[in-house]
Amino acid sequence: MRNVYVDNAATTPVSQHVLDAMMPYLTDHYGNPSSIYRLGGVARAGIVKARGQVAAALGCTPDEIVFTSCGTESDNWAVLCSAEAAQRQGKHIITSSAEHDAVLSPVKKLSTMGWEVTYLQPDAAGRVPVKDFTEALRSDTILASIMLVNNETGAVNPVNEYSAEIRKRKLKTILHTDAVQGFCKIPFSVQSLGADLISVSAHKIHGPKGAGALYIRRGVKLPQMIYGGSQESGRRAGTEALPAIAGFGEAASHAASEASSTAEEIRKLRDRIIESLKRELPETVFIGEGDSPYIISLSLPGHRSEVLMSALEGEGICVARSAACKKGERSRVLEAMRLSDSVINGALRVSLSRYNTSEEADYFANALVKTSSKIIRNRR
């Protein structure tokens, strides 16, 4: 039985070159980066290097990058603390119903504390229309948080157009985007997006779990969320997770340098799977318009996602129903897109990485065809 991993939107395997970059900080260079002796200085230099690598991948200056423990922490910090900082200017927040729970949960918390929240709905392609965003903006909108790439459908939101509208109306709205699924996967920079706050994570780009970052545009005053020491220039307390940070820097540098060629190869794999399923399993419904080549959202109406996943696991295939953090629950994102129950109930998310091959793409497609036929036979 083969082992085929096509759930890379949940997490990715750590690449060897990233592991190699991490190892010295687990063995020889184990000093505390805040210590003033040489061993601490070597550790501190590792953080400086990694910060520069992540900044280069985003197209910003190193002082605009603050390391966190993950994308969720970055999202929570951006939402909760930017709202806190601007509450005297207004208490209106814009987000979408298709956001990751790392954004929706803190937004819901704020709504219980007096903030008014406008939840925008994605269209049939899974994107939040600029028109809807524009109409929702108000003079007292202090925060807007819309993700760049949806983690379930791969839909890419026009964040640059949201920021342009805010600038055109000369509003003080802070624009945050969760770019965890877009970082080093689709072309963008902090300048092209125009967002004030951008969340990214290491483990979606073959880096380690336990490292994330928040881009904070120079001039934006964002209060601390974690208090204690003066690490991260006094913006986030706590001893830095140096091995994970070093791995994050290496992962970002490598992924950014090969972003274009990797995306092209991934697109070929995606198209190979889609063409095969259209030919061999024509009842397959493809959700959205495939903005990101890394994610295929599909459905077999009449089937149950959990049954398909179990059968595919029996063939050695790891695939998802929705976001990993939902632990197999029905997709809230697809519900927000107003898809039919039969489509939602039979949905699967296939997410690819640079380590997937054409042979694996064929194996997955053939296994899904075989699984569907077997389930239908067993019903008779």
Please identify every residue annotated as catalytic: 325
Strands (E), 53-152: 65-68, 92-96, 116-120, 141-145
C-alpha Rg value of the chain to the nearest Å: 21
How far apart, in whole angstroms, are the C-alpha atoms of residue 132 and residue 173? 16
113 exposed, middle or buried (CB, 10 Å; 0-12, 13-18, 19+)? exposed
Paired strand residues for 198? 177, 215
CB 52 within 8 A of CB 173: no
DSSP 349: E
Rounded to the nearest 10 degrees, how much is the dihedral formed by the CA atoms of 279, 284, 287, 291? Answer: -20
How far apart, in whole angstroms, are the C-alpha atoms of residue 169 and residue 152? 32
CB 334 within 8 A of CB 286: no
